[in-house]
Structure 1
Amino acid sequence: MKSWLLAAAMVVATGSFGWADGLYWVVGNRATNSCDIVTRNPVIVGDIWFADGPYKSRDDARLARSSIRVCPKDDSAAE
């Protein structure tokens, strides 16, 4: 019984780490006056003044960035 519980806990832990792969966030960057798409969960400090996400794909993050009012409309270089 204990071995089953240990195996189940390991499967859940492994699945949790795998779920975090491939996620994207949109962050506002004051230093560059742009909205960047990043692949790590951002920390809101310093020049990073907002974050939105996570999104499952880069295309979803691009779509979200286009709908965020504070993001400059011509932001194609911020990837």
Structure 2
Amino acid sequence: MMKSLFIKSLLLAALTSIGATACFARWPEYSGYWVVGNYATRKCEIVTSNPVIDGVVIWFSSGPYKSLDDAKLARTTIRECPPEPAASPASN
């Protein structure tokens, strides 16, 4: 009887561990940076949450990217994104 209870407990612990591992294995898919096309601002913006493409405000999404620099680089390669204005040089 005790051996059976021990085996059931061990099995439950193993299944719980497998479920938790599978859950955390998907976590990187939902973190990072996305480039989104925003109708309201007429710009491509970089956001940190997985966007909902509703066709009204957000009309496209690209990502996730692992870093902000990766997202900025991707934004420059997306045809629908207008180029970012160049920073004005500091006057001396």
Under a length normalisation based on structure 1, what TM-score does the superposition of the two structures give?
A: 0.79
- How many pairs were matched up? 75
Between 1 and 2, higher relative CO (CA 8 Å, sep ≥ 6) is seen in 1
Q: Does 1:27 align with 2:40?
A: no
Name the CA shift for 1:37/1:75 in 2 (closer, same or farther; >3 Å): farther
SS of equivalent residue, structure 2 residue 62: strand
SS of equivalent residue, structure 1 residue 72: coil
Under a length normalisation based on structure 2, what TM-score does the superposition of the two structures give?
A: 0.69
Name the CA shift for 1:75/1:62 in 2 (closer, same or farther; >3 Å): farther
Conserved? CA contact 1:26–1:65, under 8 Å: yes
SS of equivalent residue, structure 1 residue 43: coil
Q: Which has the larger radius of gyration?
A: 2
Give the equivalent residue in structure 1 for 2:83. Answer: 73
Name the CA shift for 1:24/1:30 in 2 (closer, same or farther; >3 Å): same
Task: Answer with 21-30 or 57-66: which moved more.
Answer: 21-30
From 52, 55, 67, the equivalent of 1:57 is: 67
Between the aligned partners of 2:61 and 2:25, the Cα distance in structure 1 is 25
Q: Percent identity?
A: 47
CA RMSD of the aligned region, Å? 1.9
Return the letter of the residue paired with 1:34: K
